[in-house]
Amino acid sequence: MLAPFFGTPLTLFLLVLAIALAGYGLARGRALARAGGDARLLHSLPNYYGMTAAMFASVPALGVMVIWLLAQPMLIQNAVLPLLPAEAVETGGATSLVLSDVNRVAEGLDLAVAQGVLDAQAIDALREDPATLRATLAGVGVALGSEVQPFVLAAAQKARALEARGDLIRAGVVIVLALAGALLGIRAAGPAFRARNVVERGVLALLVVAASLAILTTVGIVFSMVSESVNFFSQHPWQDFFLGGSWAPNFRGNSELSILPLLWGTLYISFIALAVAVPIGLFAAIYLSEYASSGMRAVAKPLLEILAGIPTIVYGLFALLTVGPFLVDVFGTGGALSAEGLRDGDPLMSGATAVMTAGLVMGIMLIPFVSSLSDDIINAVPQSLRDGSYGLGATPSETIRNVVLPAALPGIVGAILLATSRAIGETMIVVLGAGAIARFSGNPFEAMTTITTRIVSQLTGDTDFSSPETLVAFALGLTLFVLTLGLNVIALYIVRKYREQYE
């Protein structure tokens, strides 16, 4: 009964740590002993000998454990696949469905055994009559969508057997590795061993690994989205996605999934947001950096930046429950500006969710973003330029318009592009404030939808990761990623290329 105990990654992890700790003490003691108790005879400080052993013991063992944990489910899946009848796996989508069924049944059986509801004999007996299994598993908290097919049960049993064996071998390999590493470290400990150099090389390697995690994340993002997008485009024509005119997902198939109406909504909302944020943010930045006293600056700048620290869900709620209803009061039926006469009795605005609602609120969110970026850029313009302008008799506003702003323009354009990228990728405000209807319309008081809202709606709830209606979310995500990345790169390029060199 040792297998279940050592099988859990946590106990294994703790065991490796214990071995490493023991190795630390032993190696340190041995190094000191071999130097006759005089630490000065050692090449490195005694602790470094201990650290060598601990490092040798833990790093390879934990590395193998992590790789094993990631690889085992895939290998088991491949081993289980031949057990499934051909007709169940002939289409791409059905395979993953059946496999997830197998996983659930296996998980349910594990739970049932752990809770003592079933034992090995009882499970063997189930082979003749798998029908009762569904109820049994429901009893331990695993709900199944349909009756358990015999081949699913067989596959689940095989998966469980493989998993148990894999866990046992993993435990063995990891423990042996840890012990071997610790022994190696202890054996090496002695006056001639350059422990500090070894430890430091190891630590440097860890630092490099940590730094490359950023690359790994990017690779993960690109890889996960590209592979699913390829999957999507193999099931859905790319012409419809990029050039089609409508967004009408239909879970019975034959969906129209075009990004264009979503892109229109996204850009329209971003445009309104920028129309709010850029003038307010820019003028606020100009006033704060050129006119305001230091006292006012010390108060106003942090207050404005509070707006940037408020979570977007708060803005989303503000849009849905406060700004939306307010706009409906003004532009809806009976409102002061509803323009019912011009539109044959239809008001401009009929519901609280609209492009304007989301755009206005997103604009508020972006004010501090624009203002603090522009503020930094305006402050970077050297005082000598201003002084020269004042010396020629220009007023402060003339100096700002004709000298400071032109000098700061590339930076400000860069800031606006960064704000645009933020607006395009913003999710919660549009999920709550923009609505769910995909259309091309010029009326900003109508509900429209955006790329990010569609990603959320296609990927939440019960999703089937083989249908184009779900997979389209990955293609949308990839488009969004490329779009925002492109904007950022262009922004940085503009800032670098056109930056005035003053020194």
Rounded to the nearest 10°, the torsion over CA 53, 59, 65, 69 is 160
Quote the least distance from Cβ 432 to other proteins, whole Å.
6
Work out how close the CB of 424 gets to other proteins at its nearest, in angstroms, rounded to a whole number. 7
Q: Does 375 bind other proteins (CB under 8 A)?
A: no
Side-chain-side CA neighbours of 44 within 13 Å: the count stands at 21
Applying the rule CB under 8 A, the residues between 445 and 484 that interact with other proteins are 452, 455-456, 459-461, 465, 473-474, 477, 480-481, 484
Could you give the CA distance from residue 385 to residue 432 in angstroms, rounded to a whole number? Answer: 47
> What letters, b where the CB count within 10 A reaches 16 and e where it falls short, cover 51-63?
bbbbbbbbbbbbe
Are the CB atoms for 448 and 268 separated by under 8 Å? yes
Of 364, 373, 378, 416, which lies in the binding site for other proteins, with binding defined by CB under 8 A?
364
235 binds other proteins (CB under 8 A): no
Residue whose CB is less far from other proteins, 348 or 365: 365
Q: Under rule CB under 8 A, which residues in 240-279 are in contact with other proteins?
A: 279
Q: Where do runs of H (alpha helix) occur along 332-354? A: none
* Chain residues 292-321 in contact with other proteins, contact rule CB under 8 A: 300, 303-304, 306-307, 309-314, 316-318, 320-321
Site for other proteins in 125-144 (CB under 8 A): none
In the complex, the smallest distance separating the C-beta of residue 132 from other proteins, rounded to whole angstroms, is 25
Q: Which is nearer to other proteins, 440 or 493 (CB)?
A: 493
Nearer to other proteins, 59 or 126 (CB): 59
Phi, psi dihedral angles at 236 (to 5 degrees): -140, 135
Cβ proximity to other proteins, 22 vs 307, nearer residue:
307
Report the distance separating Cα 410 and Cα 416, nearest Å.
Answer: 10
- Nearer to other proteins (CB atom), residue 271 or residue 481: 481
State how far the Cα of 454 lies from the Cα of 471, in Å rounded to an integer: 11
Query: How far apart are CB 178 and other proteins at their closest, in Å?
Result: 21
Cβ proximity to other proteins, 342 vs 392, nearer residue: 392
Q: Could you give the CA distance from residue 343 to residue 243 in angstroms, rounded to a whole number?
A: 31
Q: Residue 247 belongs to what H/E stretch?
A: strand 247-248
Q: Please pick, from the candidates 57, 416, 418, 448, the single residue that binds other proteins as defined by CB under 8 A.
A: 418
- Report 150-179 residues binding other proteins (CB under 8 A): none
Residues 6+ apart with CB under 8 A from 103: 156, 159
Please enumerate in sequence order all residues whose Cβ is within 8 A of that of 171, keeping only pairs 6 or more positions apart, or say none. 3, 6, 7, 12
Between residues 59 and 282, which has the closer beta carbon with respect to other proteins? Answer: 282
Report CA torsion sign: 182, 188, 194, 197.
Answer: negative
User: What residues numbered 71-110 form the site for other proteins, per CB under 8 A?
Assistant: 73, 103
Rounded to the nearest whole angstrom, what is the least distance from the CB of residue 50 to other proteins in the complex?
Answer: 16
290-294: long-range contacts (C-beta < 8 A, 24 or more apart)? 290/378, 290/396, 290/400, 290/404, 291/396
Looking at the DSSP assignment, which residues form a beta bridge with residue 221?
none
Binds other proteins by CB under 8 A, chosen from 19, 153, 188, 286: 286
Closest CB to other proteins among residues 187, 401: 401
- The one among 98, 133, 282, 381 contacting other proteins by CB under 8 A: 282
Burial of 113 (0-12, 13-18, 19+ CB in 10 A): middle
CB of 474 to other proteins, least distance (A): 7
Cα distance between residue 182 and residue 58, in whole Å? 8
Among 11, 217, 234, 250, binds other proteins (CB under 8 A): 217
Cβ count within 10 A of residue 422: 21
Name residues contacting other proteins, limited to 182-201 (CB under 8 A).
196, 200
Q: Give me the least distance between CB of 240 and other proteins, in Å please.
A: 21
In this complex, which beta carbon is closest to other proteins, that of residue 281 or of residue 468? 281
Compose the 326-355 pattern: x for residues touching other proteins by CB under 8 A, - for all others: ------------------------------
The helix/strand/coil state of 257 is strand
Q: Cα–Cα distance between 442 and 463 in angstroms, integer?
A: 33
Q: Which residue number, 124 or 398, has a Cβ lying nearer to other proteins?
A: 398
Binding range to other proteins, per CB under 8 A, among 132-140, 246-254, 334-342, 416-424: 416-424
Q: Please state the closest distance from residue 360 (CB atom) to other proteins, in A.
A: 10
CA dihedral 196, 202, 206, 211 (to 10 degrees): 80
Is 255 or 450 the residue whose CB approaches other proteins more closely? 450
Closest CB to other proteins among residues 42, 367:
367
Say how many residues touch other proteins, by CB under 8 A: 89
- Cβ atoms of 293 and 275 within 8 Å: the answer is no
Interface with other proteins includes 212 (CB under 8 A)? yes
Q: What is the CA radius of gyration of the chain?
A: 32
